[in-house]
Structure 1
Amino acid sequence: MRRQIWPYRRPSAETLSADTWQLIIDEGPTDLPASLPHWDYRTNLSLSRQITIDMDLLRSEVRLPSDAKVQVAVIWTASGSNLRQSAGAVAIHREGRQKADLEVQLPGELLGGTVTLRTLLTVADPGTVEDPLAPRLSGSILWSDEHKVRLQGDAPQFPIAIVDFSRTTFPDNASWHLELGTQLESATMGTLLLYINERSKPTVQAFQRAAAPRAVDKVILDAVYADVARLMVEAALHHPDFTDESAFDEDSLGETFQNLIHSLFPGRTVADLRQLREHSPHRLSTQIQAAVGVFQES
């Protein structure tokens, strides 16, 4: 196991305590889960967390002078969009036990895939450092941890657009439409687009409440995801270059197809499913419905 050697003193575990990340929803805060299976690109992530620091012990252990300042910062990265940004920082410069209340909001349109939240305690201003083992540079990391959350769980990742179908070529009274590309090497985010008809108020409201759906929202989301899963599985099996041995880049359409099929049909081969599609497409559709678990109790 590789061990990082730091060129300055770092605090012990007793110096700091970190609460779990909280997801802020209409009903109030709740522990941030490992995945958000009904998240969509129109949903921002509102998060909060509290970090408690014993500043007296920190200064003693790290040998920081009394005029030094530290801060707690949050940086997020999203594998789906390949973006990395700061979510803000809280400065701490007083003595005794201090609390840093972190409140961040991550814009949904910039996210996708797995979001990694990295919380860091860093030196904001080293002050008049005299000890040779004390951190001497602003930005020196004293402590950090990470929390990962998978957006949409094992479901496919793609953006969602709410539009008036009367202004498109889609039927006016349809509730949704999946636009699906054909290039397996293309990025999923640029290849898939789920259109929601803004005239279908129940469907729009279901996706707006996707982070914490009501019972009626869950029914609608299940129906949409079952339909989307069916279209994506059929598209994958229709593509001659899609096989069990195919290797695709991370977050590509081909990888998304593979992840979806492995999730829905663990242990079954693409060749087996392709044969089922050719000889009994209606049975394949029913098996996809069962695998998705549409309208089943969670």
Structure 2
Amino acid sequence: MGDIAYPFLTLDHSSVNAEPWECLDPEGWTKPVSGMAETWDYNSDLTVTRKIEINREIAAMQLDIPIGSLNLQLWVRAGTGSGNLPRIWLQPKVFDCWDESLQIDYFVRGEDLSNRLFLEATIVALPGEKSGTLSPSFPASKVWQDHLDIRLEGSEPRFPIELASFSRLFASRPEIHALWYLDWVPSEMSRDFSGSVRLLINKDHENFAQRFVSGDRYTLQVIMADVMSQIITSAIQLPEPFRTLEACEFGTVGSYALYWINLCFPGQRSETIMSSLEHTPSRFHASIQSNADIGEVS
């Protein structure tokens, strides 16, 4: 249950046996789900499955509710979004816990997902007529919960990343002491992202380069924010930016620019975003930076 001190009795591992989540492929084979869904893309739907066993006799004792009055439900829901918290919760599924063994199958469309998949399983107790003083008495009281946070490989743009010596690459140039350098051409929004955008990390700064290689969360967030800022800033200054970017095919620089604009400035017109860039640049860049957090990298 974690470290939360609930004001009523709850369940523990002796009454709830939850097996690990598994992913079901189209041919019916299952494989364990870890913190990374490898080789995933937006065209791939996901079916996750799991078995949870509830010992109703022990559960009744732990909740101080007569077994005949024990009424439990299992709620399963999925969330998605960038960062370390879900921005959107998808449709939940509810299972009545009359049997001691529950088989969960949860289908998620690939087009509904973004960056991460959060799986949450919660057992709630519905109030009964006869219960103890510390028994859960409010409707849908949470008596057990666990969750899994999965990073979706393929949800972040794939572009070449290279460790390079800037003292050699940019000798006698102002860029020589930069920590990183984004190599791209702003006018080429219709080109493939992975073939036209390259991120160079200055290996002359050994400590910084090591933090990047090790996947330090905040180092990656700052770098990703700069990448997003450069591309968004150039894209939003195009004539009729939304119409231009919407015409770009999936996987192009323009398609990523449009995705990031909608992520950082949802529902805003291009004129409003441009005004923010010109008149409130601090808020403009802070909005991008807050959406550049990809969470912990495992």
Query: With structure 2 as the length reference, what TM-score do the two structures score?
Result: 0.53
Q: Which of residues 75, 82, 88 in structure 2 aligns to 1:83?
A: 88
**Deviation (angstroms), 1:22:** 0.8
State, as a whole percentage, how many aligned pairs show the same letter.
16
Q: Which runs of 5+ in 2 are unaligned?
A: 159-189, 198-227, 236-241, 257-284
Give the conservation status (yes or no) of the 8 Å contact 2:76–2:120: yes
Note the alpha carbon deviations across 1:189-210, whole angstroms, 9 max, x for none. x9799836xxxxxxxxxxxxxx
Counterpart position of 1:13? 13
Post-superposition Cα deviations, 1:216-268, rounded to whole Å, max 9, x if no partner, equal xxxxxxxx8xxx79x98xxxxxxxxxxxxx8643435xx68xx9xxx9xxxxx
Structure 1 segment 159-198 matched on structure 2, within 5 A: 177=192, 182-183=231-232, 195=249
RMSD: 4.1
Deviation at 1:178, TM superposition (A): 5.2
Matched ranges for 1:7-156 at <5 A? 7-27=7-27, 28-65=29-66, 66-80=68-82, 82-93=87-98, 98-123=100-125, 125-152=126-153, 155-156=156-157
Matches within 5 A, 1:232-271: 248-252=288-292
Does the CA-based 8 Å contact 2:76-2:119 persist in structure 1? yes
Unaligned runs of 5+ in 1: 158-173, 197-223, 233-245, 264-298
Deviations 1:39-88 (A, max 9, x none): 22222211100001100100011112322310111121112482113431
Runs of 4+ in 1 over 4 A off after TM superposition: 176-181, 190-194
In structure 2, how many angstroms separate the alpha carbons of the residues matched to 1:192 and 1:251? 21
Cα 1:104–1:3 change in 2 (3 A) is closer
More strand per residue: 1 or 2?
Answer: 1
Deviation at 1:146, TM superposition (A): 0.9
Kept after mapping to 2: 8 A contact 1:87/1:105: no
1:108 aligned partner, one-letter code: G
- Quickly say closer, same or farther: Cα 1:105–1:177, change in 2 above 3 A: same
For the Cα contact (< 8 Å) 1:51–1:99, is it kept in 2? yes
Q: Distance in 2 between matches of 1:60 and 1:145?
A: 21
SS in 1 for 2:52: strand
Give the length in aligned residue pairs.
190
CA distance in 1, matches of 2:248, 2:65: 53
Structure 1 pair 76–44 and aligned structure 2 pair: CA distance change class (3 A): same
Q: What secondary structure does 1:56 align onto?
A: helix
